[in-house]
Chains A and B, each alone.
Chain A
Amino acid sequence: MPYIPHTPEEIREMLDVVGLPDIDALFAEIPASLRPKSFDLPKGATEMAVRIAMERLAAKNRIDMVSFLGGGYYDHYVPAASDMLLSRGEFYTAYTPYQPEASQGTLQAIFEYQTAVTRLLDMECSNAGVYDGGTALYEALMMAVRHTRRKKAVVSETVSPIYRIVLATYTKNLHLDLVVVPHKNGLDDFEALSAAIDAETAAVVVQNPNFFGNVQDFTELFATAKAKGAVSIMSCYPVLQTVLKTPGAMGADIATAEGQSLGLPLSFGGPYLGIMTCQKPMIRQMPGRIAGRTKDGQGRTGYVLTLQAREQHIRRQKATSNICSNQALCALRALINLCLTGNEGLTRQAARSIENANYAAWKLCSIPGVSLLNEAPFGNEFAAVFPVNAKQVARTLMDDGIVPGFPLGRYYQGLENALLICCTEKHDRADIDRLARRLEKAL
């Protein structure tokens, strides 16, 4: 079966109609210097040959390891029905649902997704999703900048370093002032954060649980921000929102999240899902698509893209963002997972993950020389401090089939001996006991 839609004859015929000599002439607008010299692709091969080559490559991956890696991306269980439902052709092929009369299914799916994540985070509105948690956080910051017409952002150093790099990259040429408030032993420095919010501040940006796994209450900080006219933005971990105080309950104006933990495979880092929710007064600043439910002329329920005047197909230069694709399939996957797992299931997932992490922390701290970075409560992730370099320890254990966690020294100076260790419901006591035994041996 040919996968290329046009024969050379058909291409010739089309070129004749528009009066061009060859395909290259279609790209005459692009100067030669900007065109790729070659795509560096090997010659075509048969399906079988490609498959065998890919399988050989895949076999080089080590998939037999026990991993305690978290850092914002979590290996939660995904119900088997998830793949089955997601692979329906209607969902796979759907693109932008600009024509509601022909896209009711896709629009309803987006609407239901928005409803689900809004409830999970205790917020009032959601968009259809953006690329990932980092992008969502940047877009949230831009919402605050537009809303307040201010140019400064106060960001806690406990926000994921990966997200902070995304913020710095995206805002590089935007004349924004990003003020990073240093962490105190893995915890947010509330005093310094409050003091940094002034009359120029568009937003205060925090994360819960923070990058070190610690759980904190930002209610008071958000009240301070409000009093000073700044927007409160929180990045959070969706699964844990079933058992923690939610961004909505703390008074966040915008809450974002990496949606990967809601049933998306880790898959080498993507594609993931950026969840964006906000309270109603900020909805006009929300980028991307928003699906709404309404009634048609005959009183029948229908789903539409709403508030479209924010979007770039209505007014390009004034659009709230130039994101015009959303992670529709990833958002749908999150929705399917939320529906299959349910409130109770998600709560159990969170509770079990937290239980495992607490057991691991207790187990590891009984090893001489190992302690926790701080005494604050944590969720399913915690930072442990070793008497030696954590990266070296991780290397040693990896040779032994265990990925013990994320060495914090990569992003935090002075924490070269600290390792971020995460548990989900997929770990069992035996995994954790093995980690403790191997670690004791390695120290």
Chain B
Amino acid sequence: MQKDLLYSKTHEWVRIEDEIAMVGITDFAQEQLGDITYVELPAVGDTVEAGREMGSVESVKAASELYSPVSGEVIEVNDELEGAPEKVNTDPYGEGWLIRVRLSDEPTGLLSPEEYEELAKAEH
């Protein structure tokens, strides 16, 4: 659990610095998925919308949708994941980040680290 982040109910994390949000999936989410084999992400220049689908994560035996926790324009995508999707497993808050978004709206409805911890516990 990282204290400097905000979280979504769909298990994404957000790190906001000056109108730019970095997005990834939580340690809890990667653990639930198991070995990740492929991450499908939006393209640079795409618009994402809070609560809307933005891609998917495939593990050995399942596929899950990714939902954007924020709204805005995708300015960067973690290309490293194409060749090494396992980084999402090994370092979900660092090298396993997914996208960076230039915010168009103030994010709303995100969870604090404590709130997210409660949620993850309940879902365990």
Contacts of A308 in B (CB 8 A): 61
Q: Which residues of A contact B (CB under 8 A)?
A: 149, 284, 307-309, 314-315, 318
Contacts of B58 in A (CB 8 A): 309
The answer, among B37, B59, B61, B63, for a CB contact under 8 Å with A318, is: B63
What are 19 A-B residue pairs whose CB atoms fall within 8 Å in the complex? A149-B43, A284-B38, A284-B40, A307-B37, A308-B61, A309-B37, A309-B38, A309-B58, A309-B59, A309-B61, A309-B62, A309-B63, A314-B61, A314-B62, A314-B63, A315-B63, A318-B56, A318-B63, A318-B65
Contacts A307-B37, A309-B58 aside, 15 further interface pairs with beta carbons under 8 A come to A149-B43, A284-B38, A308-B61, A309-B37, A309-B38, A309-B59, A309-B61, A309-B62, A309-B63, A314-B61, A314-B63, A315-B63, A318-B56, A318-B63, A318-B65
The digit string for B65-107, where 1 denotes a CB below 8 A from any CB of A, is 1000000000000000000000000000000000000000000
Contacts of A314 in B (CB 8 A): 61-63
Number of interface residues of B (CB under 8 A): 11
CA distance A314 to B56 in the complex (A): 13
CA distance A309 to B65 in the complex (A): 12
Contacts of A307 in B (CB 8 A): 37
Q: How far, in Å, is B44 (CB) from chain A's closest CB?
A: 13
CA distance A97 to B29 in the complex (A): 30
Contacts of B59 in A (CB 8 A): 309
Q: How far, in Å, is A97 (CB) from chain B's closest CB?
A: 15
Report which residue of B37, B62, B63 has the largest number of chain A beta carbons within 10 angstroms of its beta carbon: B63
CA distance A318 to B6 in the complex (A): 29
Contacts of A284 in B (CB 8 A): 38, 40
Q: How far, in Å, is A190 (CB) from chain B's closest CB?
A: 31
CA distance A318 to B65 in the complex (A): 10
The 4 closest A-B pairs by CB, nearest first: A309-B58, A309-B63, A315-B63, A314-B63
CA distance A261 to B37 in the complex (A): 37
Contacts of B38 in A (CB 8 A): 284, 309
